[in-house]
Structure 1
């Protein structure tokens, strides 16, 4: 029996990665490489070289680089070609504030549009977050957090907002990679914030959902050192 088949002779469902186009896969791989520092700021990028490393043709790499340029993660310079953009602390802070505003809008729209059945999924995500908080499992918390935000974005049904937030979250990852990281004492606060956002979604209260989401994102940016604490207040 073929490896792709189950014991009962049914074809196993494709993993998400297998259903993506080569251009999308190249985009995700290159974006992750920039975030992780494998492609350093200011480094020149060779379309042909990347295609060779990835084992694909130049066309999907070209598509990926065009998207990364739209995201502001690579730039094309005269006589130098394409290079990885240098994103400094000030730009990360600006992009973080923009993301906080858009995440708030997404939460407001989700509060209005989420189907009753979709709300049940958040209970399972909160349970994962609670377990990860109790064991300080940052990897599990990161995965649950990604799922949490992705479900809210999807619930908006707004393609422009979803694309915009997808691009901005890459900068969020970049900021977190440069940060020292959250201390265990910060984790219960983040859990309470997520619980509060879900409570607002259940109440179908877009104003409260937006306010709580925006406050959560801004607080996390302060914790990770991307934003400075408001004047007169200490870092949470």
Structure 2
């Protein structure tokens, strides 16, 4: 041990989170997973008892969830889980596609070389996972790809806005049938084409490709209806 070093293990992420943040994540996950169903009432006191914490962190979590649109406060009923129907999910999906496109455009202008190299490594990993039809690995790699790209924008408001939409994206995926193996090569090609646009430092192309990718994935997952074809 070096001189002056403190013999204490660093805190894990979960230990550094406030009780309000932990309660928020737990409740949001319960809503996304369907444990807390639409229309069910959430009692601050009972939820605090279930989580083993005081009512204040639960109150803080519910305020955030209400801002996210995942719970609502109704007269004479209190706080209930919001009804999030197909139209609402489709609307939020289009908003996410637009914001993801803006993020790709900004990243094309601002992304550092090491971030581009990391994205290239992720795409290589996607190629391997696609060949093996490893959906779990692909989901993790996809999450990393988008997180790195969004972080490269340097725009905290944009990143926070996309984080707020993530639960709806998860909810949409759980309600849908999910991607099939035949969709995996398509997603791989789309990520590779987005990376090519980022490398070319072409904001318009990066935005268009990202937006197309998100809309296509939402259509595949059943969140958006397929585009109508005029006869």
The two structures have a TM-score, normalised by structure 2, of 0.92
1:212 aligned to which of 195, 199, 209: 209
Q: 1:73 matched to which residue of 2? A: 70
Q: 1:185 matched to which residue of 2? A: 182
Q: Are residue 64 (structure 1) and residue 61 (structure 2) matched? A: yes
Q: 1:120 matched to which residue of 2? A: 117
Q: Aligned-pair distance for 1:13?
A: 4.3
Give the gaps of 5 or more residues in structure 2.
Answer: 1-5
Q: 2:171 matched to which residue of 1? A: 174
Q: Aligned-pair distance for 1:185?
A: 0.3
Q: Cα distance 1:11–1:205, how it changes in 2: closer, same or farther (>3 A)?
A: farther
* Farther off after superposition, 66-75 or 148-157: 148-157
* Farther off after superposition, 214-223 or 110-119: 110-119
Task: Report matched runs for 1:45-124 at 5 Å.
Answer: 45-124=42-121
Q: 1:21 matched to which residue of 2? A: 18
Q: Aligned-pair distance for 1:11?
A: 5.0
Q: Aligned-pair distance for 1:76?
A: 0.3
Alignment coverage as a number of residue pairs? 225
Structure 1 runs, 4 residues or longer, greater than 6 Å off: none
Q: Aligned-pair distance for 1:12?
A: 4.8
Give the gaps of 5 or more residues in structure 1.
Answer: 1-8
- In the alignment, the residues of structure 1 paired with residue 130 and residue 51 of structure 2 have an alpha-carbon distance, to the nearest angstrom, of 36
- In the alignment, the residues of structure 2 paired with residue 61 and residue 80 of structure 1 have an alpha-carbon distance, to the nearest angstrom, of 17
Q: 1:3 matched to which residue of 2? A: none
Cα-Cα RMSD: 1.6
- In the alignment, the residues of structure 2 paired with residue 15 and residue 118 of structure 1 have an alpha-carbon distance, to the nearest angstrom, of 25
* Farther off after superposition, 138-147 or 128-137: 128-137
Q: Aligned-pair distance for 1:128?
A: 2.5
Q: 2:128 matched to which residue of 1? A: 131
- In the alignment, the residues of structure 2 paired with residue 175 and residue 79 of structure 1 have an alpha-carbon distance, to the nearest angstrom, of 30
SS where residue 152 of structure 2 aligns?
Answer: helix
Q: Aligned-pair distance for 1:21?
A: 2.0
- In the alignment, the residues of structure 1 paired with residue 104 and residue 220 of structure 2 have an alpha-carbon distance, to the nearest angstrom, of 21
- In the alignment, the residues of structure 2 paired with residue 190 and residue 13 of structure 1 have an alpha-carbon distance, to the nearest angstrom, of 38
